[in-house]
Structure 1
Amino acid sequence: MAVKMIIDTDPGIDDAMAIFYAAAASDIDLLGLTTVFGNVTTDIATRNALRLLEAADLELPVAHGAEAPLELPPFTPSAHVHGDEGFGDIPAVTPKGQPVDEDAADFLCRMAREHKGELVLCPIGPLTNIALAIQRDPEFAQNVARIVIMGGSLNEGGNITPHAEANIYHDPHSADVVFASGAKVVMVGLDVTHRILCTKADFTAIAAQAPELGGMLQEMSVFYLKFYETVGKFDGCSLHDPAAVIACTHPELFETQPVPMRVSCEGETSGATLADPDSQRTPVDVCIGVQSDAVKTLFFKRLSLLP
């Protein structure tokens, strides 16, 4: 049976990779997208989400989400990772579709009620929309089957500061709300995503197999790979967001450890995801190992099915 899924997203190049993967995966029943700030502003994220669905020929709801963190002041996304418009050097295009009237948190609450015990939520940006849904509906955390997040790390350290992974860093208070919620949470963080690398040759190959959408990803990847080179990583880009989507349907490819978690929300460690063994919190299933080759093979196998 296909996994009923909503992806909460801030597209973003690796977000595009994750969404196209979900579009191609027969074991995913994608019910919609919710958008959030992060790689880009929420307005651009909503535009990009609609554009990606149209490119993949999917008619699905997109719900516009939070435009600022739960408690921190708003910030301006940096363009050096994903480009001014989110897709590297690809210029902006106005999609035909429009977001739904509900905001992201209300949409998530309603969908969790309608698909109680079945909905898998996959946030691949800051966790603001999920925290708001938890705060608005006391039953939300129990209505969702799982929340599989791309973010954080247990042992790997950070990628935006020495301590913090970017999605958590951009709204640590929301992440802590999610970890404290009692929901079944799976954390697909840097401990595993740093082990899965995509190279220039990989993107060239997928463009040859899927000229339209694979070609779009290959064009985006030029900018993305250049960024990785500027931080000294010349062997490719990490498969961050697609790994979280794959973990939703193929948990056997990941080794997890149950760990109660909290998030530092101040000082130089702000955004750090920390083990909190003495707390009464429901343990998070933290991914600490991954069958990297199998995940990467599955990712490109599914993308090759795209037009």
Structure 2
Amino acid sequence: MLARARRELKNALRSARSALLPALLLAPSLCLMCAPQPAYAAQAGQVIVDTDIGDDIDDAFALGLLLNSPGFEILGFTSAWGDTGLRMQLLQRLLRETGHDGIPIARGIATTSMTPFTQARWAQRGSLPEPAPPAVDFLLRQIRQHPGQITLIALGPLTNIGAAITRDPATFGKLKRVVMMGGSVRAGYRKSEYAAPRPADKEYNIAADIPAAQKLFASGVPIVMMPLDSTQVRLDEVERGALFGHGSPLTDALTLLYHQWTDSYQPWSSTTPTLFDAVPVAYLADRGICPTTPLRIVVDQDGYTREQPGAPNAEVCLALDKRLFMELFMQRLLQ
């Protein structure tokens, strides 16, 4: 009797294991399907990027994020501020080495700049595209060809944009929107997210060409503004290590550009970059990263972006979801 009971118990356990095994094998899959997964929906479509790449390093990281993001049709890049020819060479080399050398590059209006071109040595090994169309001509031509479709991503001083408005305000008005990094509304520069922010500051991109900024905010074109309030997110050592060790053509280029930036004479800087210009690109990939508030923004004669009563002329992001931003940023660049 005892032997038979043992046999029946073994058979029952064996049957239970057979029934449970498929469920156990399926459980991890069910867990993965049930767990929240990042879902980023690109919002931009056709874009043109106006950039002063080569001074601070944030432009390079912003362009890296853009080039590695689906859902963007990049119609071209325009170089802005300072030595716009050398910026074109940097853009040409970056696009060539990352397999995007078919994207047009246009030469912006050259200006005097007191900001060090920190990545000049890397840029000098690029080629100056010939012929190099003027940025204003290129921008207005693209707007005429794609009325109401283009998002202009403005990552530097607004000289090219102001000139385009002056030349043909009606055509400029047919942009879908301008998404920009610039200004300071309720908080200024700060060295650490744990330190209290300064009051609103004169932000570099606005203060570099105040008349151009005033033209943009008076243009009537929809503006999405990412000021200092929401763009001072640091790329810390752990994230830098993951990116610089990744070994893709894009992360290799970003690594070299970063090290030239840190090797230059910048008494105000540190080895930890602030990703100001990556925030507008991330917003266009997922608007939840930087929710906006409608405000009326006026650029005063000193270059401050003042919040004033009246009809809103900009959607302004005043606070960043840092966790969501870093999740998207790292996921895209580590592809």
What letter is aligned with 1:78? T
CA distance in 1 between partners of 2:162 and 2:299 (Å): 13
CA distance in 2 between partners of 1:257 and 1:227 (Å): 38
- TM-score with structure 1 length normalisation? 0.83
CA distance in 2 between partners of 1:66 and 1:173 (Å): 15
- The alpha carbon displacement at 1:84 in A equals 5.9
Residue matched to 1:242:
278
**Which protein shows a greater Rg?**
2
5 Å-filtered alignment, 1:102-251, equals 102-158=133-189, 163-194=201-232, 196-222=233-259, 224=261, 230-231=267-268, 236-251=272-287
5 Å-filtered alignment, 1:13-162, equals 13-37=57-81, 40-58=82-100, 59-68=102-111, 75-79=112-116, 83=118, 85=120, 90-96=121-127, 98-158=129-189
Q: Is the 8 A contact 1:33 1:62 kept in 2?
A: yes
Q: Is the 8 A contact 1:152 1:158 kept in 2?
A: no
**What CA deviation, in whole Å up to 9, does each residue of 1:231-267 have, x standing for no partner?**
4867x322111111122232222121111111122xx
Residue matched to 1:71:
none
Q: Is the 8 A contact 1:210 1:304 kept in 2?
A: no
RMSD, matched Cα? 2.5
Distance 1:115 1:223, change over 3 A: same
Distance 1:50 1:274, change over 3 A: same
- The alpha carbon displacement at 1:181 in A equals 0.3
Task: Look up the SS of the partner of 2:75 in the other structure.
Answer: strand
Q: Is the 8 A contact 2:227 2:317 kept in 1?
A: yes
Please tell me whether residue 276 in structure 1 is matched to residue 314 in structure 2: no
Residue matched to 1:72:
none
- The alpha carbon displacement at 1:78 in A equals 2.1
- The alpha carbon displacement at 1:18 in A equals 1.3
**What CA deviation, in whole Å up to 9, does each residue of 1:191-236 have, x standing for no partner?**
1111x210132122112224432122223334546789954867x3
- The alpha carbon displacement at 1:4 in A equals 0.7
- The alpha carbon displacement at 1:42 in A equals 1.4
**Residue ranges of structure 1 left out of the alignment (5+ in a row):** 69-74
CA distance in 2 between partners of 1:228 and 1:186 (Å): 33
- The alpha carbon displacement at 1:93 in A equals 3.2
- The alpha carbon displacement at 1:183 in A equals 0.3
What letter is aligned with 1:213? L
Q: Is the 8 A contact 1:3 1:28 kept in 2?
A: yes
- TM-score with structure 2 length normalisation? 0.77
Seq. identity, % = 29
**What CA deviation, in whole Å up to 9, does each residue of 1:99-149 have, x standing for no partner?**
544311111111112111110100100011111111222323431111001
CA distance in 1 between partners of 2:325 and 2:263 (Å): 23
